[in-house]
Amino acid sequence: MSEHKAHTHTHVHDGRDPKNAFSGWFEGMTHVLPVRVYYEDTDTSGIVYHANYLRYFERGRSDFLRMAGVHHLVMLQGEDRLAWTIRRINVAYHKPARVDDLLHVRTNYMEMKGARLSGHQSVVRGHDVLATAEIEAAIITLDGRPRRIPADVVEKLAPYVGA
């Protein structure tokens, strides 16, 4: 296990640190990413189009990794040229979001094993859960072959993965 400790306080970035600007914060082992709903996110009924929740979830996963010190570009440019991919996602929609809503994407990873990282995500507005997703991500080479999560990535993620 890593000597790093998961953040136990809420930290909001003010945009002056370019590498983490607007990347959210950790509450314990949960990453929280604020997302504002724009008109472009909605369909003709004025609610967020269902596929856009997948985009919100992707942003949450990406910023979780960034805040934990795992950067997509570094992995792509490394010796093995690795990338994350979604192996499985199961989304449930509970309530609609609308223009100007302030949402929070909450990301938790529960298990890291072999090439896989499994977890749970939710999009919330205040106390209302709008959508949830069970996810399984995996590390692959650029030709699509699975690879074990590299040891340095395991070390960086370990403080944030668990029940």
Strands ordered across the beta sheet of 116-125: 25-27, 30-36, 102-113, 116-125, 128-141, 82-93
pLDDT number for residue 100: 95
pLDDT digit string, tens, across residues 4-26: 444 444 444 444 465 666 899 99
Residue 89 lies in a domain: yes
61 sits in which H/E element: helix 50-67
| Residue 43 appears among annotated catalytic residues | yes
Range of the domain at 51: 25-160
Residue 58 lies in a domain: yes
Which one-letter DSSP state was computed for residue 127? T
pLDDT number for residue 1: 42
Half-sphere exposure of residue 152: CA atoms within 13 angstroms, side-chain side = 7
Fill in the amino acid letter for 69. G
Query: What's the structural domain count of the chain?
Result: 1
Residue 122 lies in a domain: yes
Phi, psi of 51 (to 5 degrees): -70, -25
pTM for the full predicted model: 0.86
The domain that holds 146 is classified in CATH as 3.10.129.10
- pLDDT of 113 strictly over 60: yes
Which one is catalytic: 17, 41, 43, 100?
43
More confident residue, 54 or 17: 54
pLDDT digit string, tens, across residues 30-47: 999 999 999 999 999 999
Helix (H, G, I), strand (E, B) or coil at 2: coil
